[in-house]
Amino acid sequence: MLFLVVDDSMVARTMVNNVLEPMGHEVIQAGNGQEALKILDKLAREVGVVLLDWNMPIMNGFEALQAIRSNRYCDHISILMVSTESEAEYIDRAMKAGANGYLAKPFTKDELIDKINSIVQSSSE
């Protein structure tokens, strides 16, 4: 499956990348919400899951989440919010805006794998 990993930290993106690739997934990366939307313009059909950080410059993850959810070409895409902002109201807001899951930073490799597997499973149902 093709994953779009959106995080302003190169290290955070690479960390996720290096977990997903050995699982047999493909990964493309974006540094902020705006870049992510641009990529989805071209690749909406191919992308299966978007991982979105919350705090990013230019366009944050929540704004990107709203933009993706208002685009009918992206209806099939599962969105996993990955953020240090993990207070209940943040999670609430994201889920109400159409996120499919929420993973709080920091997470272990196993926690990420579990979350990915459950998202992939439910999106292929």
Partner 1 sequence: MTEKIILLINRDAAFLDQTGSTLEDAGYHTRTASEMRGALALLSANAVGLIICDKALQDVSGFDLLNFIKKDPLREKIPFMFLVPANEQGGAFKAFELGAADYLVYPLAPQILVDAVDELFATDDDVPLPSGIPEAHPTAAANGQTSPTDDPIPVSGLIIDVSRDGVLWLPGNVQSFSRQSLYIETALFGKQGVSLLARIKRADGTFVLNGYIKEIRFEDFQKPAIIEMSVQEEEAWRRIHDDLTQKTQHQTQEAADQPEVEPQLEKTIVMSPTGIDKTAYKTGPFKPSKKKDPSYDRRFYHSLIGRQLDNYRAITLIGTGSMGGVIQGWDVALEREVALKVISYGLSSKESFREMFIKEARVVSRLNHLNVAQIYYIGTSSDILYYAMEFVDGLTMKELIAEQGNLNNLKGLEYFITVCEALYFVNQNSVIHRDIKPANIMITRAGNIKIVDFGVAVSADTVKKTTNNQIIGSPMYMSPEQVAGLSLDNRSDIYSVGATFYHAFTGQPPFQGTDFKTIMAHHVQTPLPPIRKKNANVPAALARIIEKMMAKDPLERYKDFQYVANDVKALRAHIVDRKRPSSRQTKTSG
Partner 2 sequence: MDTILLIDCSDDVTTSMAGLLKGNHQVVNVSFEDRDIPGKNKMIILQAHDDLDAISKKISKIRYECKFRDIPIVVVKQSEDQIPLEYYLSSGATEVLPLDAPPGACRQILQGYLIPSRKPLESETEYLTPFIENTINVLKATAQMDAVFREVYFSNDFRIFGDISGIIGLSGVSEGTVAVTLYWDLARKIIANMMHVADNQLNAEYIHDGVGELINVISGSTKKRFKGTPFHFDLSLPTVVVGSGHQLGHPDNSSIAVLIFDVAQMAFVLQVCLKPKQKQS
In terms of Cα–Cα distance, which of 13, 87, 90, 3 is closest to 40?
3
In the complex with partner 2, which residue's Cβ is closer, 67 or 104?
A: 104
Residue 19 interacting with partner 2 (CB under 8 A): yes
Q: Is the peptide bond before 106 cis (omega within 30 degrees of 0)?
A: yes
Least distance between partner 1 and beta carbon 38 (Å)? 6
Residue 124 interacting with partner 2 (CB under 8 A): no
Candidates 21-29, 37-45, 79-87, 109-117; binding stretch for partner 1 (CB under 8 A): 37-45
Which amino acid is located at 110 in the chain? D
The residue within the footprint of partner 1, chosen from 41, 92, 111, 114 (CB under 8 A), is 41
CB atoms within 10 A of CB 40: 22
Whether the CB-CB separation of 99 and 68 falls below 8 Å is answered with no
In the complex with partner 1, which residue's Cβ is closer, 1 or 39?
A: 39
In the complex with partner 2, which residue's Cβ is closer, 15 or 28?
A: 15
Which amino acid is located at 122 in the chain? S
Looking from the CA of 18 toward its CB, the CA atoms found within 13 Å total 8
CB atoms within 10 A of CB 41: 10
The residue within the footprint of partner 2, chosen from 104, 118, 120, 123 (CB under 8 A), is 104
User: Which residues in this chain contact partner 1 in the complex, by CB under 8 A?
Assistant: 34, 37-38, 41, 57-58, 67, 70-71
